Structure 1
Amino acid sequence: MDAEIYIRQMLPEDLDLALVLKKTEGWNQTREDWQFFLRQQPSLCLVAVVEDKPVGTVTAVAYQSRLAWIGMMLVDRKFRRKGISKMLMREILHRLEGFSTIKLDATPEGRFVYQQLGFKKEYSLWRFIRKENPSRREPDRDAGISPVSVADLPKLEKLDTMVFGAGRDNVLRYLLAAFPAGAFMLEEGGEIKGFLFSRKGSDYTQLGPLVAKDETVARRLISQALAQLNEHALVLDVAASRQELMSWLVNRGFEQRRELVRMYLQDNRYSGIPEKYYLIAGPEFG
């Protein structure tokens, strides 16, 4: 007879096991990322437990009262095909009642589970990686692009809210505090043309979110990051519709990897301005 499976709120002492699960899957999150979720909404960080041992996780973060974002869906491989993913999802969705829009970025393996729960595809993303190569020559740094300071955040947060679809000041402030050397902005004539934040992961530095007026600005910001972070292994997630940008990335040493599918439940009321959203913050952040 199978052991009983139950769902409970995640505790700080569960993080060691959570990190083992994400490492097994080759995911890029750090302990600090998990702690961010626990600080934001502890009741939206869950574990599935079998015989007093956590064997699965899921998190969610609320952006204002508009949009909830689900991430970190992980199940120990030894306990798969027992309905644990669905149990975790049903409980997190129950706790997210009241949100008109709920979103996530699904792996191909997870997409089927989410479709059964009513999630619909918004668009596809492709992951690109570039291994560290300190000898690689990058263009000179762009004199028009400046580092982001705390004083700049209110202007960037206003733009990000319009483009992303909901305010996530908590994420931008977390990213800037954790890795200020990876945050850049372009301001001309008193107008913010675009910005890029970055995050140090366990294996790669993630580029994103990147919000820009157009692709020329987006490329300038990415080029600045490449010049600044040349010694880092890099990863980014870009919408599949941006074929020219993807070709440009390949020419700069990036390799195309796995697909992600951005999905939503119920009403996609807060879709933002996708044409100005070039790189996402990561599957766990949106």
Structure 2
Amino acid sequence: MTCQRPLIAICNLLRTKLSFPPQRPANKAMNRPLGSELHPSILGQDHIPAALELCRFAGWNQTKQDWQRFLRLNPKSCFGLFHDQNCIATCISTEYARQQAWIGMMLVHPEYRRQGLAKRLLNHCLSRLDEQGIACVRLDATPAGLQVYQGLGFVPEFVLSRWRLPEQTRDVSRTNPKPRNTRKSSEETSYRKHLELDKLAFGSDRSELLADLAGDSLICSADNGFGMMRAGHLANYLGPLTAKSPGVAKDVVSRLLDATPGAIFWDIPDSQMETTQFAHSLGFQKDRSLTRMRRGKNVPQDVNLMYGISGPSTG
């Protein structure tokens, strides 16, 4: 098993404090519905501060680095709604090998909710995906959004839960564990094996996403699995985590925890009972549940290989 850090030290990322200019407050006196008069626009780098403010309103964990990644990978499928030049809602879709797409970052400013803005953005994303011939669309729904998505043709597939490890004093290694194998050929072979395993678990090739995540993550690999840990606004995020057995997953998690200070979020399918029991034994606490949902054709995923997702925004 090996653990490797990117050129940018993970510890620096873990200590990063986000700062961004506040948005102009929304018009609290505005009562008439806006859904019919606002049109989705493509988001750019200059919209990241506004998108982050929506994340903070929602209590979400995404960082500036996450939004930069969304825009790099999906430059034409990150959408927003604007009122008085303020970004008041967002939604993104990520396409994987033209087989399936993922809907994420469905956010609406608190003062503009219950006006159909999220549904308008979602329908825009779905129409665009239909035009591209992408037959399978997935998302991870909160309990509040479950009925809304069902009304748009999404069906439940399985339940996963967020597990949270509170920030506490742990015996954390401050140095990068030395890799077991250092030959370039071994690293390339291992990388290809991990991509193949992830494709079996997720159902589509998402090597572009994994390569981008690796640039911001601590990576631990084993012969039959791998996992990543990256910084978040509220807590570090453990995932994706793909392995051929619970034992391999436990080994990878233990290595990641040994090298990571601070609080941690970890999203695990509920069917992985041995792994959720392991998380509980480590001090993780169950925080909330999500439902994986699908619209259209079924691109099979193997939940038995899935011990942690890459995040609700990308699967």
Q: Same fold (TM over 0.5)?
A: yes
Partner of 2:150: 115
Partner of 1:163: 201
CA deviation vs aligned residue, 1:177-211 (integer Å, no higher than 9, x gap): 112xx211112xxxxx1111122111211111111
- Are the aligned partners of 1:163 and 1:277 in contact in 2 as well (CA < 8 Å)? yes
1:45 to 78, 86, 98: 78
Query: What is the 5 A alignment of 1:81-120?
Result: 81-97=114-130, 98-120=133-155
1:26–1:53: structure 2 CA closer, same or farther, 3 Å change rule? same
3-state DSSP of counterpart to 1:99: coil
3-state DSSP of counterpart to 1:166: coil
- Are the aligned partners of 2:33 and 2:115 in contact in 1 as well (CA < 8 Å)? no
Q: Sequence identity, in percent?
A: 33
Query: What is the 5 A alignment of 1:260-271?
Result: 260-268=290-298, 270-271=299-300
- Are the aligned partners of 1:175 and 1:198 in contact in 2 as well (CA < 8 Å)? no
Partner of 1:29: 62
* TM-superposed deviation, 1:51: 2.9
* TM-superposed deviation, 1:237: 0.3
Instruction: Report how many residues are paired.
Output: 275
* TM-superposed deviation, 1:38: 1.1
CA deviation vs aligned residue, 1:34-79 (integer Å, no higher than 9, x gap): 1111112222100012233211000111111111111000011111
Q: Tell me if 1:277 matches 2:315.
A: no
Partner of 2:96: 63
* TM-superposed deviation, 1:283: 0.3
2:110 to 67, 77, 81: 77
Of Structure 1 and Structure 2, the greater strand share is in: 1
The two structures have a TM-score, normalised by structure 2, of: 0.81
Letter of the 1:122 partner, please give it: E
The two structures have a TM-score, normalised by structure 1, of: 0.89
Can you give the 5+ residue segments of structure 2 that lack an aligned partner in the other structure?
A: 1-31
1:159–1:243: structure 2 CA closer, same or farther, 3 Å change rule? closer
- Are the aligned partners of 2:93 and 2:101 in contact in 1 as well (CA < 8 Å)? yes
- Are the aligned partners of 1:184 and 1:196 in contact in 2 as well (CA < 8 Å)? yes
Q: Distance in 2 between matches of 1:274 and 1:153?
A: 21
Can you give the 5+ residue segments of structure 1 that lack an aligned partner in the other structure?
A: 188-192
Q: Distance in 2 between matches of 1:124 and 1:46?
A: 27
1:200–1:149: structure 2 CA closer, same or farther, 3 Å change rule? farther
Q: Distance in 2 between matches of 1:143 and 1:24?
A: 40
Partner of 2:289: 259
- Are the aligned partners of 1:120 and 1:263 in contact in 2 as well (CA < 8 Å)? yes
TM-align CA RMSD: 2.3
